[in-house]
Amino acid sequence: MKIDLPKTHKMYRKNKGFLEAMHIDGWLLLGILLLLATSLAVVYSASGGDEAVMTRQAIRIGIALTIMFIFAQIPPNIIYIFTPWLFLMGILMLIAVLLFGDIGKGAQRWLEIGPIRFQPSEAMKLVLPITIAWLFAHSKFPPSFGRLVLGTALIALTGSLIVVQPDLGTSLLIGLSGLSVLFFAGLPWKVIFTAIAGVILSAPVAWHFMHGYQKQRVLTFLTPESDPLGSGYHIIQSKIAIGSGGIDGKGYMGSTQAHLEFLPESTTDFIFSVLAEEFGLLGVIGLLMLYSFVIARGLYIASQAQDNFTRLIAASFMMTLFVYIFVNIGMVSGLLPVVGLPLPLMSYGGSSLLTLMISFGILMSIHTHKKLLSK
């Protein structure tokens, strides 16, 4: 990665192209569009050639791209000003969910306001890291102990409001996105290693507090074959799909696992298995390269950001994206427990796509709203 600062800036000043004027980052957009196009193709195949499903997803992609574009127009300092209020609102909505939330699949994740139905925890995926970045916008490197404690407290508050919904998976992932900001803000290494050791040691305690279905998932993860027609079914069928794909895959629309309906939720959480079955190891490597390209570009944007607030946001968003990809693929390939998480930019569905595209919009805004330096 190149860190040659002054040159880049000169280039921006001189040739302010069309995309730049529209506050769009071309490389990032290219990566995103390639992923979304792949997504449409695989969703179409996974649904067994259901045009209605593909049309809906295409419409969602269109809306999400538009919203990304809108967010790219908002200068980061505006976000900075509103951050405390957004956080406050997010926390209040999480509390509202606990009080009045709609119960879907046994967890109260949805809030209904008139005709709109949404998950406040989805919004928190963005708001929490932004808030932690806001907290460290002015701090030294490494930051003061007090500030780190405050940051950890905000993460813990948000995480615990989500974990009681109950949604352990999302809670952990949102917590991780907040922690990644702490990492980039300069959390001392010794604290990091101590914390990792602590988590490993406290695993038995966490086990004690898990819900029955969560314990079941962990057990199934450890020995999926013990329950081949119950909860282990998903993982076994997913591994069969991936493994039978081989090196070059069964070809597009060739996923028998999805088409004969052995693979559950083939268009959403298990979309990766369909891709792996149809395009094989080569397809998988291609997909991971595309993801790496997007993450690298995002981290580059972070490295070029002019202030602490924006660089923390950019870096944290990319780490969050990475964690989601890793957890989903790890899950469907049997490396991690089944946590019910979509694959970013690939799975069928609207709300996670929207959150992601907003984060890309903010990333583009960070990259294209830089003030020319006086130096």
Partner 1 sequence: MPEHLDFNSDNESFNKKRQFRFRLYVAFIFTLILFAILIARMTQLQWLEHERYQGLAEGNRISIETLPPTRGKIFDRNHILLADNQPVYALKLIREKMDNINATMLAIQVILDNVDPKRVHDFFQKFKKRNRSKSYTLPFSFSEEQAAQFAVISHKHPGVTLTARLKRTYPHGASAVHALGYVGRINQKELKKLDPKAYRGTDIIGKSGIEKYYEDVLHGSPGIQQIETNVRGRVLRKLETLPAIPGKDIHLTLDIELQQFAESLMGEMRGAIVALDPQNGEVFAFVSTPIFDPNLFVDGIDHKSYNALLHNPSRPFINRVINGRYPPGSTTKPFMALGAIENNFISPNKKIYDPGYLVYKDHRYRDWKRTGHGLVDMNKAIVESCDTYFYELSLDMGIDNIHDALAPFGFGSHTGIDIHGESKGILPSQAWKREVKGKPWFRGETIISSIGQGYNLTTPLQLARATAILANRGKVIRPHLVRSHKTEALEQIEIKKISNWEKVIKSMENVMHSKKGTARRHATHLPFKMAGKTGTAQVFSLNAGDYDADMLHEKLHDHSLFIGFAPVDNPKIAIAVIAENAGSGSKTAAPIGVKVIEKFFQLYESETYYPQQNVTANNHED
Give the residue from 238, 253, 241 showing the smallest Cα distance to 54: 253
Distance from C-alpha of 312 to C-alpha of 366, rounded to nearest angstrom: 11
- Scanning residues 69 to 108, which ones bind partner 1 (CB under 8 A)? 76-77, 80
Range in contact with partner 1 (rule: CB under 8 A) among 82-90, 157-165, 219-227, 316-324:
316-324
DSSP3 helix / strand / coil % (the chain, rounded to 5): 70, 5, 25
Smallest separation (angstroms) from partner 1 to the CB of 208: 28
Q: Is 342 in the site for partner 1 (CB under 8 A)?
A: no
344 binds partner 1 (CB under 8 A): no
Going by the DSSP 8-state scheme, the letter that residue 142 receives in this structure is: S
3-class secondary structure, 101: coil
Which region among 20-28, 34-42, 65-73, 293-301 touches partner 1 (by CB under 8 A)? Answer: 293-301
DSSP codes, 203-252: HHHHHHH--HHHHHHHHHHH-GGGSTTTTHHHHHHHHHHHHHHTTT-S-T
Q: 3-state class of 162 per DSSP?
A: helix
Give the residue, chosen from 166, 254, 286, 330, that forms a contact with partner 1 under the rule CB under 8 A: 330
Cα(187)–Cα(181) distance, integer angstroms: 9
- Rank residues 3 and 201 by Cβ distance to partner 1 and give the closer one: 3
Q: Which of residues 231-260 bind partner 1 (CB under 8 A)?
A: 233, 239-247, 256-257, 259-260
Question: What is the smallest separation between the CB atom of 273 and partner 1, expressed in angstroms?
Answer: 10
DSSP 372: P
Rounded Cα–Cα distance for residues 291 and 344 (Å): 9
Q: Which of 43, 276, 345, 356 binds partner 1 (CB under 8 A)?
A: 276
Q: Which CB sits closer to partner 1, 163 or 237?
A: 237
Write the DSSP string, 285-328: HHHHHHHHHHHHHHHHHHHH-SSHHHHHHHHHHHHHHHHHHHHH
According to the binding rule CB under 8 A, does residue 153 interact with partner 1? no
- 102-104 and 107-113 strand pairing: antiparallel
Of 87, 221, 270, 322, the one binding partner 1 (CB under 8 A) is 322
Q: Which member of 307, 349, 350, 351 binds partner 1 (CB under 8 A)?
A: 307
Q: How many CA atoms lie within 13 A of 332 on its CB side?
A: 31
| Shortest distance (Å) from residue 213 CB to partner 1 | 13
User: What string marks each residue from 170 to 209 as x (binds partner 1 by CB under 8 A) or -?
Assistant: ----------x--xx-x-----------------------
Closest to 284 measured CA to CA, from 335, 255, 245:
245
- 140 is a site residue for partner 1 (CB under 8 A): yes
What is the footprint of partner 1 within residues 115-134 (CB under 8 A)?
none
Give yes or no for residue 302 binding partner 1 (CB under 8 A). yes
Distant-in-sequence, close-in-space partners of 289: CB < 8 Å, separation ≥ 6: none
Which of 276, 229, 225 has the alpha carbon at shortest distance from 252? 276
Q: How far is the CB of 188 from partner 1 (least distance, A)?
A: 11
Separation in Å, CA 335 to CA 36, 218, 321: 25, 11, 18
| Cis peptide bond upstream of 166, omega within 30 | yes
Supply the minimum distance, in Å, between the C-beta of residue 22 and partner 1.
20
Where does this chain touch partner 1 (CB under 8 A) — which range of 85-93, 218-226, 288-296, 352-360? Answer: 288-296
| 65 vs 338 by CB, closer to partner 1 | 338
Interface segment toward partner 1; rule CB under 8 A; list 164-172, 213-221, 294-302, 345-353: 294-302
Residue span 32-61 as binding mask against partner 1, x where in contact by CB under 8 A, dash where not: ---------------xxxxxxx--------
Q: What is the binding site for partner 1 (CB under 8 A)?
A: 1, 3, 47-53, 76-77, 80, 137-138, 140-141, 180, 183-184, 186, 229, 233, 239-247, 256-257, 259-262, 276, 280-281, 284-285, 288, 291-292, 295-296, 299, 302-303, 306-309, 311, 315, 318-319, 322, 326, 329-330, 333, 335, 371, 373, 375
